[in-house]
Amino acid sequence: MSDINKEIKILGAGPAGLSAAINLAKSNFKVSVFEHQEKSGAHFHNGWQILENYTSKTDALDELKIMGIAPDFFYLPRSDIDFYDSRLRKYPLTGKKTFGYFLKRGPDSDSLDTALYNQAVDAGVIVHFNTKISLKEADIISGGSVHATGIAKEIVFETDAEDTFITILDNYLTPLGFSYLFIINGNGTLGTAVMKNFKNIHEFAENVLLRFQQIGKFSVKNERFSVSSIGFFVPRTAMDNGKLYVGEAAGFQDYLFGLGIRKSIQSGYLAAKSIISGLNYDVLWRKQFSAQFSSGILSRFLFELGGNVGYTNLLRFSRHFDFQKSGYFLNNPSFLRKIPSSILKLTWGKKKNCKHGDRCSWCRSR
């Protein structure tokens, strides 16, 4: 067990960093979090994101409670979503269970970021905003991706349109990525995620808006936007000179769609558990994530290989199955998936200009 009198310094007040902080403070550790922005979630504009509920058989909200996190933020469970292919053919996908919880990212009072910040402060965490510390000073590093293998632009706006949950898979519209439109209670989020041609992200986003308007006209008022990097790499270790990396800084996320909120919170909890108990952090996260990472590599390979024809065939096939169960299958290994996943890790996307150093065992070069 670590020295309880030692101050634990955390770089970044995102979900991973605050998850670690909350659990450490509840075990009576002195914890300080250092965030370079003025508020938790300030990078976002209170847009909609998804807490996925398909990588584990345990419900995501139940898991939060197990990890000492109260789900006292706004969330909307969904068991269905409409996908469209490159020709705007509609494929409604549904399941018996919730595939994800839509929640708000940003500084609003009912956002995930504000809820985690409040819980951290209530537990005794000291959060320093508008403050930077170096990697050498931090004990836990949760500062996001250090190298972009993808990029996403989100436009948040007000609208008079009805609630909408749509994703488009079109390799020309969003190369190797996808786009989405989520509208809840008059607040909309239009997302554009691409895995190449990053410099054209604003042009891609303009085309995405026009494409969604073809599906159904909707008003766009008071729009704000943010651009974020997506980092795909499989860590060899999430430790460096005694520093523990969490969230996207460690490469922890869903490799198929880049949904990383759940793994961010999980990894923060595991980092705290490592410090509290003295257990090896690498052992903890590998037990939690390694099998999903191997399966995720195969899913990402097939997604990129298929192109628009593959997307259409996938959607045609998927509409006959439970959506939540399909997500679990794509993110968890079976005997038939283990061998090709291991081969792909060695042969596909070999390291090239990898910026993760010795922490990376596989880096998807672009």
pLDDT score recorded for residue 304: 80
Check whether 91 has a pLDDT greater than 70.
yes
Q: Which of 245, 233, 173, 165 is nearest to 206 (CA)?
A: 173
Q: Is 95 helix (H, G, I), strand (E, B) or coil?
A: coil
Contact 130, 136 (CB under 8 A): no
Task: Give me the CATH code for the 7-75+108-147+232-287 domain, please.
Answer: 3.50.50.60
In whole angstroms, what is the distance from residue 192 CA to residue 205 CA? 6
Section 284-293 average pLDDT: 88
Which of the pair, 8 or 346, is modelled with greater confidence? 8
The sign one gets for the Cα dihedral 188, 168, 259, 54 is positive
Lowest mean pLDDT among 172-176, 203-207, 293-297: 293-297
In whole angstroms, what is the distance from residue 157 CA to residue 218 CA? 11
Tokens, residue 62: 């139940």
Tokens, residue 248: 């996207």
Contact 182, 259 (CB under 8 A): no
Model pLDDT for residues 303-340, shown as the tens digit of each residue: 888 899 999 998 998 888 888 888 887 777 665 556 56
pLDDT score recorded for residue 366: 47
CA atoms within 13 A on the CB side of 295: 18
In whole angstroms, what is the distance from residue 160 CA to residue 145 CA? 35
pLDDT score recorded for residue 220: 97
Section 253-280 average pLDDT: 92
Section 166-191 average pLDDT: 97
Q: What is the model's pTM?
A: 0.92
Which of the pair, 362 or 271, is modelled with greater confidence? 271
Model pLDDT for residues 36-55, shown as the tens digit of each residue: 999 999 999 999 999 999 98
Alpha helices in the chain (DSSP H): 15-26, 60-66, 112-122, 201-215, 261-277, 281-318, 323-331, 335-347
Q: What percent of the chain has pLDDT over 90?
A: 68
Q: How far is CA 90 from CA 17, 93, 170, 183, 213, in A?
A: 39, 10, 13, 18, 14
Lowest mean pLDDT among 102-116, 147-161, 197-211, 221-235: 221-235
pLDDT score recorded for residue 345: 62
pLDDT score recorded for residue 78: 97
Which of the pair, 69 or 321, is modelled with greater confidence? 69
Q: Which CATH number fits domain 150-230: 1.10.260.30, 3.40.50.740, 3.50.50.60, 3.30.9.10?
A: 3.30.9.10
| DSSP label at residue 175 | T
| DSSP label at residue 162 | P
Average predicted confidence (pLDDT) for the chain = 89
Residue ranges of domains in the chain: 7-75+108-147+232-287, 150-230, 290-363
In whole angstroms, what is the distance from residue 173 CA to residue 127 CA? 41
State the Cα angle at 66 between 59 and 119, rounded to 5°.
110
Q: Is 139 helix (H, G, I), strand (E, B) or coil?
A: coil
In whole angstroms, what is the distance from residue 339 CA to residue 344 CA? 9
- Whose tokens are 């584990």? That residue is 56
State the Cα angle at 170 between 169 and 174, rounded to 5°.
100
The sign one gets for the Cα dihedral 53, 73, 255, 193 is positive
In whole angstroms, what is the distance from residue 123 CA to residue 6 CA? 17
In whole angstroms, what is the distance from residue 129 CA to residue 149 CA? 28
Contact 296, 259 (CB under 8 A): no
pLDDT score recorded for residue 227: 93
| Phi, psi torsion values for 40, nearest 5 degrees | -65, 130
